[in-house]
Structure formats: C-alpha cells, structure tokens
Amino acid sequence: MLRRAWKPILGATVLVGGPTYLYYRYYSQPKPDTFLLGVRVRDADGKPAIEKQRFSMLTMDQVNKRLAENAISKTTVRPGIVWKQATAQLSSNNPIEDTYSSVFVQRDPTDPAAPGDLLLFAVMDGHRSYHTSQLLSKVLLPAVGLELQQLTKGPISEVKKPSTLDYLKSMVYITSASSAPDDSDPQRVARAIEAAFVRLDWEILNAPLRILTENVDKLAIVNQQVPDLSQHPLALATMQPALSGSCAIMALFDTAHQNLYVACTGDSRAVAGVYEETDDGKGSWRVEVLSEDQTGRNPSELKRMQSEHPADEANTVISRGRVLGGLEPTRAFGDARYKWPRDVQEVLHKAFLAGNGQSFRPASAALKTPPYVTARPEISHRKLALPPYANVSAQPKSTLRFLVLATDGLWDELSSEEVVGLVGGHLAGLRGRIPKAELPERVRTTAGSPTVNGKSSEPVRSTEGAWAFVDDNVCTHLIRNALGGANENKLRKLLSIPAPLSRSYRDDITVTVVWWEEDSDATPEQIRAKL
C-alpha cells in the first residue's frame, strides 16, 4: 500500500524535480567560471548607481601566461662578478602607463679611476596617460649620462638634447684624457643626477612654448591673437608629454667607486635587501628602504610644499593628501596643469588642442602660485662591497645584495618587509606553497631604515593564507604574490577584471630587481686579464 502511494510522488519528482534541479544547478547559482562585480553606471534619471555585472573568470593557464608575457631577465658576466636583472609588468590601464629602461655601460679600461662599470635602471609610473612615461623611457637615462659626462669636463653653459640610449654609452665613457674626475665624489654625482632630472622636465614643459613663439608673428602679438597650430607636426607630440605626467625612480651602480645612487621623483619606491651573516649560520635580510614616497601624506613633503608657497595657501597646496586636492604625487615629470600659470594653459590649449578636438581639463581654482609640482628628485647614496674579493675572509659579513625598484602598484599591495622576504626566499630557491606565517622563519628579515609611506594606508601584513613560489622570474613572483599568491581564486578574479574597471581594484605594476653574485669560476689571473 505504501509502496503504491510513493509512485505518484516519485513520478512528480521526475517530472518536476528534475527540471527544477537543473534550473537551480545551472541558472540560479553563480557559474563556477564567472563572478559578479559592482560597476558604477548611471540610472534612467542620469544619477550614479552601482549595477551588478557578471564577468568571465580567466583560467590559471591564462593567468600564468599573462603574468609571464611581459617578463624579461638578463645575466651579464664581468670580471669576478655576475650581474643579474629581471623586470616584469602587468597592466591595469589599457594601454599600460608604466615603462622602464636600463643601460649597462662598460667603462674604458684605461680609466685612471680604475676599470669598472656603470649600470642604470629606471621605472616610470605614468598618470593621466602614458605619454610622459614613454618619453622618459627613451630620454631619462641619456639625460643622466650627459650630466655624468660633464663631471669629467667641467660645467658647460648649454646641454644638447639627448637622442637615443645608444648615445648614452658614448657619453658616459670616461677616457684617460680626463684628470681628477669628479665622478668619485658622491655629492657631485648626486647634483649631476638632480640637474638631469630638472633640465629634462624643463625641456618637456617648454617644448610647446618654443613652438608657439616660433610661429607667432609680431602682428598677432600686438592683436593678442593666438594662432591655430593644431596641425603642426609637433602639436600633440609636445603637448601630450607636458600635460600627462609620470613619476620616476632610478638606480645608478658605479662599480669603479663602489657607489649606489637612488633618485626618486614621485611615489615609486626602492628597497634593498642587505644580507647579514649570523652566528647560527642561517643569516638574515635587513630591509633597507632607499626612497621616500613623495605624496602630500608624507610629512616632509607637506612641510616642503607649504614652505614654497604663501602662508594663505597652507591649507590648499595639499588637500585630502593631494596636490590642490587632485594629484597624489608631489613630484613628477610633466603635469603642466600644476606648473604652468593659468593664462599660459589657456593660450596653449587654444593654439594646440582646440583644433584637434582635444579636451583640456581646466586648472584648479586653487592654482595661484605655480609651480606646485617639481621633478627635482631626492637622492640617496650607499657604499657597495662588490666582488671580486681578495679571499674568503675579505668578504664582508653584511652586504647589500639586491635592489627592488617598483611602481606604486606593487607597494599598494605589499610592504617593504614582505618584498624583501619574498625576494630573499626566491633567491634561496624556495618552491611551492609557503604559509605566510612560516616564511619569516624560513627567510629571516630585520628592520633597517623605515618605510615612509605616502598612501592613505599601508598594506595589511596578514599571516593568513600562503605565498606562491612558482615563478622563475623574481619580478613575476612579486606580482603574483601582490595579487593573491597561493589564493588562485583571488588571483584569477583580479586579473579577469577588464580595463578600465580594473583600475578600481589594482594599478599598473612594473618591477625591476637587480642582484649580483661572485663569479667563483674566475681565477685571479682571469680577472686581471679581463681588466
């Protein structure tokens, strides 16, 4: 009886429950390879609103491919030392606004200051487009090379415009014709680097003005007429790098004099790992931060900005941690909107942009005594202890072993201490999934110079979750761990958000790591022969 009673119920389950289950399984539940994201839109009345939209999730194979597609590495063997460098990029903006450049210059062996090399590395973080950062990737290091070259010739009244990176090599060769070169004096080198940054920014800002003055006749000046130069071949080519902006951080290794210089303009950061031998033989990494984040939230930058403008602007030069309430970095190349007077901005807009249909963001109402932003860098100097060493006992117990240069997209996600631990673990050969709580025990780090954070908040150092040691390229390794590490679901989701929506969740990231090892295979005779 009971058995017969169940038959209609079972039939109904087959006819009704089956389709209901299928609907529940495939339609009512989120698909495993998609995710919902709140997107800012405007409703029917034109008011801002948040709308949930569904996006497809990248597979891990696609994620790995994207992380590795803009990664490079290079090894250069020199007498007694092996230099290694790696760079990786991950875009959020489309196109990416970060750039980078590097040059390795072998000095003339007849140099009276002793043979050695010059190594220059830079990363640039563009904002409001890529035009300034792209230009810097081509001319910043040549500009520095020109100024360094003058240290062996004495000051000159005019510096010719640099052309290509190849030109840098010829300009920074130090020949035997020079006597008592000043490139061994850290203060003079720092001033030369500073001059290069400032002069280059001056060139970027004044290029449109030069074109304007060359194309304005006397009658137009009398009648206060602004010519339409929108079709001039250099109209946009000069205006765009001036109007957009870019931070830059550069490292210069001078192996002849065992010096390291770091020049910072903006909120990119340089962090070094100093290896220190310990009595237990395990060693540790001291975290040395070689730059300060230059934003309005940095107390020293706020004080500097206020000191350079009238007292009645003390509360407006920096507002909400930003220059005039708009720009986060207090130092940058370009950003003419914060450097040109208001009337100059209006004239140049009319001359170069109006005829091209290009919009020009009006100057801030708080703009009174420009410039408010400078490209003048802060420069730090460190002595190096590089191989070849005379013997094992000559090797120092504490030595700077690697340097990380990265745009703020990395530092938004990782602390300086985490980066040193991740790089130290990578160089030590760690592989696989390493719990975050376990890494400090396996890669010991100690505090050195503190980080001066220029953001509203520092990344939270959590001991939950795990790091992923799976990449051969150390910079790809850092980017992966900045965006999720061993948490593949988080990593997949962050990389699946398309531009420009992704900019609300992560920034462009560019990382360069430089490290070196002793060339133990080289004999003293071979080293002398190479010299």
**Secondary structure class of 513 (helix, strand, coil):** strand
CA pair distance 139, 136, nearest whole angstrom:
5
Identify the pLDDT of residue 347. 92
**Secondary structure class of 500 (helix, strand, coil):** coil
Q: Residue with structure tokens 């009673």? A: 5
276 close to 420: Cβ distance less than 8 angstroms = no
- Split at pLDDT 50, 70, 90, the class of 16 is very low
Identify the pLDDT of residue 406. 98
Q: Looking at domain 60-530, does it have CATH number 3.40.80.10?
A: no
Identify the pLDDT of residue 520. 67
519 close to 409: Cβ distance less than 8 angstroms = no
And the tokens for 41? 């839109």
And the tokens for 274? 């100093």
And the tokens for 513? 């790591």
And the tokens for 426? 């990578």
Burial class (CB in 10 A: 0-12, 13-18, 19+), 325: middle
And the tokens for 207? 């290029």
Nearest to 487 by CA among 505, 469, 506, 466: 466
CA pair distance 241, 221, nearest whole angstrom:
26
Calculate the CA dihedral of residues 312, 313, 314, 318 and round it to 10 degrees. Answer: 160
CA pair distance 92, 30, nearest whole angstrom:
25
122 close to 192: Cβ distance less than 8 angstroms = no
Percent of the chain residues topping a pLDDT of 90: 70
And the tokens for 499? 């531009």
Nearest to 361 by CA among 38, 193, 169, 129: 129
CA pair distance 247, 265, nearest whole angstrom:
6
Percent of the chain residues topping a pLDDT of 70: 83
Q: Residue with structure tokens 């990449």? A: 471
Residue spans of the domains in the chain: they are 2-56, 60-530
- Is the preceding omega at residue 500 within 30 degrees of 0, hence cis? yes
Identify the pLDDT of residue 440. 95
DSSP code for 59: P
Q: What are phi and psi of 453, to 5 degrees?
A: -80, 130
Residue 21 pLDDT > 90: no
And the tokens for 435? 């719990």
Residue 39 pLDDT > 50: yes
Helix residue spans in 49-126 (DSSP H): 60-68
- Split at pLDDT 50, 70, 90, the class of 70 is very high
Q: What is the mean pLDDT of residues 396-412?
A: 96
- Residues 464-513 pLDDT 10s: 999 999 999 999 999 999 999 999 999 999 999 999 999 999 999 999 99
Helix residue spans in 287-433 (DSSP H): 299-307, 342-348, 408-411, 416-427
Cα–Cα distances in angstroms (integers) from residue 362 to residues 205, 272, 336, 385, 520, in the given order: 17, 41, 11, 51, 60
**Secondary structure class of 118 (helix, strand, coil):** strand
Q: Residue with structure tokens 């997949």? A: 492
CA pair distance 339, 421, nearest whole angstrom:
40
Q: How far is CA 450 from its chain centroid?
A: 19
Helix or strand holding residue 165 (H, E): helix 165-172
Identify the pLDDT of residue 343. 93
Least reliable range by pLDDT among 12-21, 115-124, 351-360 = 12-21
Helix or strand holding residue 510 (H, E): strand 509-518
What are the beta bridge partners of residue 275?
A: 285, 399
CA pair distance 513, 478, nearest whole angstrom:
10
CA pair distance 370, 155, nearest whole angstrom:
29
And the tokens for 74? 């290079």
| DSSP codes of every residue in 364-384 | PTT-SS----B-PPEEEEEE-
**Secondary structure class of 137 (helix, strand, coil):** helix
- Residues 148-201 pLDDT 10s: 988 866 543 343 444 333 434 443 433 333 344 567 899 999 999 999 999 999
Identify the pLDDT of residue 522. 52
Identify the pLDDT of residue 42. 85
Residue 354 pLDDT > 70: yes
Identify the pLDDT of residue 384. 95
Residue 27 pLDDT > 80: no
387 close to 252: Cβ distance less than 8 angstroms = no
Least reliable range by pLDDT among 8-17, 68-77, 506-515 = 8-17
Q: What is the mean pLDDT of residues 97-104?
A: 97
Q: Do β-strands 117-127 and 245-254 pair in parallel, antiparallel, or remain unpaired?
A: antiparallel
Note the pTM of the prediction, 2 decimals: 0.87
Sign of CA dihedral 490, 491, 492, 498: positive
Residue 17 pLDDT > 80: no
CA-based R_g, the chain, Å:
28
Q: What is the mean pLDDT of residues 317-326?
A: 96
Q: What is the mean pLDDT of residues 98-102?
A: 98
CB atoms within 10 A of CB 129: 18
Identify the pLDDT of residue 362. 86
Highest mean pLDDT among 162-166, 236-240, 526-530: 236-240
DSSP code for 29: S
What are the beta bridge partners of residue 511?
A: 88, 406
- Split at pLDDT 50, 70, 90, the class of 110 is low
Identify the pLDDT of residue 462. 80
Q: What angle do CA 169, 171, 148 make, to 5 degrees?
A: 110
- Residues 84-96 pLDDT 10s: 999 999 999 999 9
- Residues 187-224 pLDDT 10s: 999 999 999 999 999 999 999 999 998 988 766 766 77
CB atoms within 10 A of CB 386: 19
And the tokens for 266? 């903006």
Cα–Cα distances in angstroms (integers) from residue 468 to residues 99, 179, 439, in the given order: 26, 52, 11
Least reliable range by pLDDT among 113-117, 133-137, 250-254, 394-398 = 113-117
- Residues 355-378 pLDDT 10s: 988 877 888 999 999 999 999 999
Q: State the chain's maximal CA–CA distance in angstroms.
A: 113
Q: State the chain's mean pLDDT as an integer.
A: 86
pLDDT: which is higher, 170 or 313: 313
